[in-house]
Amino acid sequence: MTPVNEALRQDMLAKGIDIDLTLSILNDFNNGLYDNLKPVKAVSVPKIDGSTVIDTRLFSPGRAGVYRIDRDTALRALADAGTPMPPAVIPEKNAEGKDILAFPTEALLDIGYSLLPKTAFGVLNGGSATSYADTKKNKALGDQVFSILEAKFHEMAPSCKDVPKGITPAYTNPDGSPGYSFLELKMRARLMLAMRYAKRMSVSTVNERQGKEFLPLFQMSSSLNDGQLKAHYDAVKNSPLLAGLAKKTGLEPAQWHTGIQPMIAAYSHSSCGRPKTIFDTAWGKPNSALPLPGGHGQFFRILAPVLKAFHAQGIRFACLGNVDNIGYMPDPVELAMLLLSGKSAAFDFSFRTELDVKGGILVETESGSRMIADIGPAISAEEVAQLEQAGYSILFNCASGIFDLDYLVPRIDQLARELPVRFSDQDKDAGKYSQAEQVTWEITSLLPSFLAFAVEKSERFLAAKLLAENLLTSGIGLGDPGMPPAIRATSEKLNAGLNRLLTERYGLALKNGKYLPDLPA
């Protein structure tokens, strides 16, 4: 093992860094274990075909979307899940004369709502969001954009540093005040879904039908932030945002099943050459390490016990998404299509915009397989630009999806071992260093197949990788004449989507410049 001097060791311990895990990854790198791990070679991007890549916008209210699938496949899936055939299903034959079934939106909703009691709702918290309020990273949209947002950025940035992103404001109210936290909205989303389920299934409370947790909440926290998250849940569980809905549904509003991720240290920048060492000058201080999560991909190891317990209790599907996406919540239509398809998982994608500078895209590789390639660790920004210049529409990973636990749980330990560990160089306020991480969504490279849902960004992918994105989505700076037209146009759509989500999906109402609970009284 690489030696660590005593001063650095004490600093790492004080910052909650798992020294053994940090050194294990470091030695594996220096011993060449990751030398053959090459960036993804993307040769194309898949087209929307209605079968494996599905445009879910067609299933929104007022649209006549129909999901068609082989009759026998659908019958087996419904029987296996104990779900009755909806009355709105239409028998058809395809061009080859084979029997298929056509599922209109109403039929999919019938199936999807019946699956909610067999579904868990999870978020990825990880560690403190080192990029979120980082000044250098927030200039990724250009100095001109940053200068317009700068005053509000510096007003909000201090409260967003050294805390889990999930407990920071998910949006800014029209009057300039901070909105509810990302995690408060996630907990309310679950309660709102429970209300809709009770109404559709004609039950007074969801527990009356279930006899156990409905849509159990699960999360990956970290050794650095788990205490902060618990304190946040205690502080908001009786808030007006949650208390009324909790009483009506009979649910505990802030009960989470948790896997705690250990912190690892940052490593030396690749410009320092090999052997790689521990980055020990964070913020310009000697013997100062930088604690980081090992990537959200550690989810498969950290949350394996939670998912195994869920599966043993009859939970079939686990919805998973990043905490910073206001548009992410379980979707009954998607649950239905995943069940009917027989696939092992499904993931959401939106068409890439000027604001999507950090994350992954759906690609086809030289071998013909499909996977999510993360911009930076797996595929360079230059390669993404080349694909766009070649005329391809880029489907951007929304960092949300659904796993079929019948497939995942028996294989989760093996998948956790096989998920790639990638190193990426960083240049942030803390200094120049490299970060080792497993990317959750690279699981797509290890799955036999999956569904890809093409979603409306303004409805389903209101993500905030950077504080600047959060401010733009909230409408900050959009009236400034210096705002680049493309950024303004995209942000205006996202701001309209935010307003719709807060009112229609979260049951909030705009009162005197603030979004406040509207349902129930």
Pairing mode, if any, of strands 119-124 and 317-322? parallel
How far CA 488 is from CA of 148, 460, 472, 479, 511, in Å, comes to: 12, 19, 8, 8, 26
DSSP state of 455: -
pLDDT of residue 442: 84
Of all residues in the chain, what percent carry a pLDDT higher than 90?
67
Question: Residue 486 CB: number of other CB atoms within 10 A?
Answer: 11
What 3-state class would DSSP assign to 260?
Answer: strand
| Residue 502 in this model has a pLDDT that exceeds 70 | yes
DSSP state of 263: E
pLDDT of residue 237: 95
CA angle 495, 498, 499 (to 5 degrees): 90
pLDDT of residue 385: 82
Question: Residue 514 CB: number of other CB atoms within 10 A?
Answer: 16
Query: Does 492 map to a domain?
Result: yes
CA 182/CA 167 separation, integer angstroms: 6
Indicate the residue type of 5.
N
pLDDT of residue 310: 96
DSSP run (H or E) holding 121: strand 119-124
CA 172/CA 510 separation, integer angstroms: 12
Of all residues in the chain, what percent carry a pLDDT higher than 70?
95
Please give the biggest Cα pair distance in the chain.
74
Of 399, 404, 401, 400, whose CA–CA distance to 339 is shortest?
404
437 backbone dihedrals φ, ψ, rounded to 5°: -155, 150
pLDDT-wise least confident of 7-16, 214-223, 438-447: 438-447
Tell me the per-residue pLDDT of 100-157, one tens digit each, with 9 for 90 and over: 999 999 999 999 999 999 999 999 985 555 678 888 889 988 999 999 999 999 999 9
What 3-state class would DSSP assign to 438?
Answer: coil
Burial class (CB in 10 A: 0-12, 13-18, 19+), 191: buried
The answer to whether 7 and 277 have CB atoms below 8 angstroms apart is no
Tell me the per-residue pLDDT of 31-86, one tens digit each, with 9 for 90 and over: 988 787 766 677 778 888 999 999 999 998 778 899 999 999 999 999 999 999 99
The answer to whether 254 and 233 have CB atoms below 8 angstroms apart is yes
pTM metric for this prediction: 0.88
Of 172, 56, 162, whose CA–CA distance to 430 is shortest?
162
CA 358/CA 386 separation, integer angstroms: 17
| Residue 216 in this model has a pLDDT that exceeds 70 | yes
| Residue 405 in this model has a pLDDT that exceeds 90 | yes
Tell me the per-residue pLDDT of 270-325, one tens digit each, with 9 for 90 and over: 999 999 999 999 999 999 999 988 888 889 989 999 999 999 999 999 999 999 99
DSSP run (H or E) holding 27: helix 19-30
What 3-state class would DSSP assign to 191?
Answer: helix
Q: What is the dihedral of CA 50, 55, 61, 65, to 10 degrees?
A: -10
Burial class (CB in 10 A: 0-12, 13-18, 19+), 451: buried
| Residue 210 in this model has a pLDDT that exceeds 80 | no
Tokens of 158: 């201090």
Of 301, 310, 259, 13, whose CA–CA distance to 125 is shortest?
259
The DSSP-derived string for 338-370 is: HHHHT-SEEEEEEE--TT--SSEEEEEETTS-E
Q: Give the confidence band of 480 by pLDDT, cuts at 50, 70, 90.
A: very high
CATH number at residue 353: 3.90.550.10
pLDDT of residue 521: 39
What 3-state class would DSSP assign to 502?
Answer: helix
Query: Does 1 map to a domain?
Result: no
Range of the domain at 388: 6-517
The DSSP-derived string for 65-90 is: -EEEEEHHHHHHHHHHHT-PPPTT-E
Alpha helices in 161-298 (DSSP H): 182-201, 206-210, 226-236, 243-249
Q: How many CA atoms lie within 13 A of 69 on its CB side?
A: 24
Mean pLDDT (the chain) is 90
CA 394/CA 379 separation, integer angstroms: 13
Domain count, the chain: 1
Tell me the per-residue pLDDT of 159-202, one tens digit each, with 9 for 90 and over: 888 889 999 999 999 999 999 999 999 999 999 999 999 999 88
DSSP state of 275: S
